[in-house]
Amino acid sequence: MARFRSLRWRLTFLYLGLLSVLLLAGSVAQYFAAREVLFRTNAEALSSEYAADLLAFRRQIGTTARPAAALRALMLSAQFAKELASGHTSAAIFDANGGLVTSANAGISPDQPPPTLYTTDYLNAIRSKPKAYYLAAASDGSTHLAVLNVVRVGSKPVGVVQLSIPTAVIDQTLQADRQLAIVGSLIVLLVAVLLSPLIIGRALRPLEQMSSTAGALAAGDYKQRVSVPRSQDEIGKLAVAFNQMAAGIDQAFEVRRQSEEQMRHFVADASHELRTPLTSIAGYIDVLRRREVVDPETLQASLAAMQQESARMTRLVNDLLTLTRFESGRAPSRQPVVLDQFVGQALDELSLRDKGALESRDLQPGVTVRADPEALKQVVTNLAQNALKYAPGAQQHWSVFQADGRAAIRLQDTGPGISRQDLPHIFERFYRGEKARDRSTGGSGLGLAIAKSIVEAHQGTIEASSEPGQGATFTAWLPLAA
């Protein structure tokens, strides 16, 4: 039973129901229209029959002039009624007051009284024009089609002649018509019953496919799609929209998968970086505990090493906090910063010359950006410290300038540069260049990632270029203050 509750069957039943009602209504309308046409043609035939009979009767009674009263009597006589009746046609003659004068029943039962209408019908026919036809009931309950003709002597109406035939004669013709309509309708219905489930089922097949595909999507198979029917109807559009939705879901899950993957990497890398100093501290503690007597020098050396490791851990944790703060997407609190003054001051504070760098400056005055000074200082510091680490003793040329409607802070060093393999990755979190990896003094690989996250939080970009052996150039581009 549940099967018949499906859309396919509901549409089929609806369609068949509608078709049956339409066929029935069409047949009924057609039957009544045909009946009306038959009534009218039979009525016309009766009228012509009357006209012919009247002419014949006039000829029969002769052309000699007669007084009006005699003529009237002849026109209302049983002789005239007999002349008019023939075959199925019965005749009845009424006087000018609508009273029956005489009748002739040539039809099936000659003794039966003729079918009559209401007296008013006869009076109305005399007063105005008779209607095209009337339906009269006979005493046996049968219906008769009747036409009325007013009889005049001179111009004076003297009575009404009624010619009638039983409608049963007409109904016989209609019966065949009715049977044909019923058989035709049944054939049409049968064909519809056989074909409509197939046609509707075919039209709805994409919907069934969509439902099974939706099931597959829900089960996690995001690559499933439905085949789009060629017709661009509602179902075709639905299939297109369905596939777009499936692609959207697939994409969203792909993005989630990627970000989860990145997060896993990040956590693994961070844990790995933290484990090194922790293992080291645990090692020193272990050594100290195992010794019964610790000489003050060893103790001092161990404590200093542990302090160094803990400082490294603190730096790492601070770097991680900075990174998450700027990557969270929260806008930094900004204020106008005049770059030449700002970078000049930051470089003074870093006193790079004291740390062995050959520092030079070319700071274009008045280039202003809107930035968080604390964060911007970190960018300058990270770049400077990298140059100190990876290009020790080399020249560091700092410049501030304005180009293409943007502000730039640039550092060019004359160090060893960055290898081609490293260059595309140096801004990644925890990425350390080949040389930096085996170097104990190397950082954690977060310095440039932090600089990038800060610059991007200010709607800027940061880039690096380098020819190995020719030094490296880092440029931070920032939007100018309006």
Q: CB of residue 353 vs ligand ADP: minimum separation in angstroms?
A: 17
The site string for ligand ADP over 295-334 (x = CB under 6 A, - otherwise) reads ----------------------------------------
For 150, the 3-state DSSP assignment is strand
**Site for ligand ADP contains 391 (CB under 6 A):** yes
**Site for ligand ADP contains 101 (CB under 6 A):** no
Q: Which is nearer to ligand ADP, 49 or 422 (CB)?
A: 422
**Site for ligand ADP contains 444 (CB under 6 A):** yes
Q: Quick one: 226 exposed, middle or buried, by C-beta within 10 A (0-12, 13-18, 19+)?
A: buried
Q: List, in sequence order, the alpha helices (H) in 219-295.
A: 234-290
Separation between Cα atoms, residue 370 and residue 374, nearest integer Å: 12
**DSSP assignment letter at 346:** H
And the tokens for 414?
Answer: 């004359």
**Site for ligand ADP contains 277 (CB under 6 A):** no
Q: Which stretch binds ligand ADP (CB under 6 A): 114-122, 181-189, 356-364, 439-447?
A: 439-447
Query: Among residues 449, 454, 476, 478, which is the contact residue for ligand ADP, using CB under 6 A?
Result: 449
Q: CB of residue 222 vs ligand ADP: minimum separation in angstroms?
A: 36
Q: Quickly count: other Cβ atoms within 10 Å of residue 98's Cβ.
A: 19
Q: Which among 448, 370, 372, 449 is positioned nearest to 407, based on CA atoms?
A: 370
Q: CB of residue 224 vs ligand ADP: minimum separation in angstroms?
A: 42
And the tokens for 81?
Answer: 């009624």
Angle between helices 339-350 and 373-390 (to 10 degrees): 50
Name, in order, each residue with C-beta under 8 angstroms of 83's C-beta and a sequence gap of 6 or more. Answer: 53, 56, 57, 60
Query: Among residues 448, 454, 455, 462, which is the contact residue for ligand ADP, using CB under 6 A?
Result: 448
Query: Among residues 390, 453, 462, 476, which is the contact residue for ligand ADP, using CB under 6 A?
Result: 390
**Site for ligand ADP contains 387 (CB under 6 A):** yes
**CA angle at 48 for the pair 44 and 52, rounded to the nearest 5°:** 170
Q: CB of residue 399 vs ligand ADP: minimum separation in angstroms?
A: 15
**Site for ligand ADP contains 236 (CB under 6 A):** no
Contact 35, 174 (CB under 8 A): yes
The label of the residue with tokens 């006979």 reads 138
Contact 359, 414 (CB under 8 A): no
The site string for ligand ADP over 395-434 (x = CB under 6 A, - otherwise) reads ------------------x-x--x---x---x----xxx-
Q: CB of residue 387 vs ligand ADP: minimum separation in angstroms?
A: 4
End-to-end CA distance of the chain: 73
**Site for ligand ADP contains 340 (CB under 6 A):** no
Q: Which is nearer to ligand ADP, 90 or 453 (CB)?
A: 453
And the tokens for 62?
Answer: 């002769």
Task: Determine the residue with CB nearest ligand ADP.
Answer: 433
Q: Which stretch binds ligand ADP (CB under 6 A): 3-11, 52-60, 344-352, 442-450?
A: 442-450
Separation between Cα atoms, residue 388 and residue 384, nearest integer Å: 6
Separation between Cα atoms, residue 329 and residue 323, nearest integer Å: 11
Name, in order, each residue with C-beta under 8 angstroms of 95's C-beta and a sequence gap of 6 or more. Answer: 76, 101, 158, 159
Q: CB of residue 319 vs ligand ADP: minimum separation in angstroms?
A: 8
Q: CB of residue 482 vs ligand ADP: minimum separation in angstroms?
A: 32
**Site for ligand ADP contains 49 (CB under 6 A):** no
Q: CB of residue 335 vs ligand ADP: minimum separation in angstroms?
A: 27
Query: Among residues 153, 447, 460, 476, which is the contact residue for ligand ADP, using CB under 6 A?
Result: 447
Q: Which stretch binds ligand ADP (CB under 6 A): 8-16, 261-269, 324-332, 384-392?
A: 384-392
Name, in order, each residue with C-beta under 8 angstroms of 305's C-beta and a sequence gap of 6 or more. Answer: 280, 284
Query: Among residues 81, 163, 446, 457, which is the contact residue for ligand ADP, using CB under 6 A?
Result: 446
Contact 478, 466 (CB under 8 A): no
Task: Catalog residues that contact ligand ADP under the rule CB under 6 A.
Answer: 386-387, 390-391, 413, 415, 418, 422, 426, 431-433, 436, 442-449, 472
